[in-house]
Amino acid sequence: MTELTMVPRDRTILSVAKAVAWVGLAFAGIYAFSGAVYPFLTGNGVPAQAFTQIPGQEAKFEGAVEIADPSLLLLASYLFSVLVAAGGQIIIMVALLRLVATARAGEAFLPGMLEALKLVGLGIVVWTVGADVLPGVTSAIAYRDMPEGFEFFATFNFAPILIVVVLGVIAALFDVGARLRRDSDGLV
């Protein structure tokens, strides 16, 4: 089956998926650009996540503090985290475009589908590093410049790990499908 022999519903789904991927790419670009120019355009400094505490209360809250006149290391750490997070998003959207291209070729179990799924997993890992891990590093670097009442804060979200594991299982299942397809190729 090729795109020419697809039913209109399938063609619509592929077109929507392609549009979603391009919108995602655009957002990743906007995210990267706006994050990169933020410290310079606003003049507020480099944002760093931090714990903050209301005086007189024990509870701590996740927040952000902007470090004015940041060191080169802090600025580099912040920019790197923004670019890595955007890079992860871009990898995921490129993988989605590859998935659409493979589906347009009319074969669901081509090796290209498997590679695209692996790319999605990689994109999620990269995005998690950029969005979760590196901001913690930035916070650690910014700690000594934080005003009174703010502390270093780092977090890690384990949901992406579960998603990557599930993607790995799906990729393994696609591998099985590809093998079944090879075995039945030419079967009448």
**What residues line the site for other proteins (CB under 8 A)?**
184-188
The Cα–Cα gap between 86 and 88 comes to: 5
Nearer to other proteins by C-beta: 154 or 178?
Answer: 178
Work out how close the CB of 109 gets to other proteins at its nearest, in angstroms, rounded to a whole number.
17
Question: Judging by beta carbons within 10 Å of its beta carbon (0-12, 13-18, 19+), is residue 53 exposed, middle or buried?
Answer: middle
The Cα–Cα gap between 76 and 78 comes to: 5
Work out how close the CB of 9 gets to other proteins at its nearest, in angstroms, rounded to a whole number.
23
Nearer to other proteins by C-beta: 5 or 57?
Answer: 5
The Cα–Cα gap between 9 and 15 comes to: 10
Contact 107, 43 (CB under 8 A): no
Contact 138, 181 (CB under 8 A): no
Nearer to other proteins by C-beta: 8 or 186?
Answer: 186
Work out how close the CB of 186 gets to other proteins at its nearest, in angstroms, rounded to a whole number.
3
Work out how close the CB of 187 gets to other proteins at its nearest, in angstroms, rounded to a whole number.
4
Nearer to other proteins by C-beta: 60 or 182?
Answer: 182
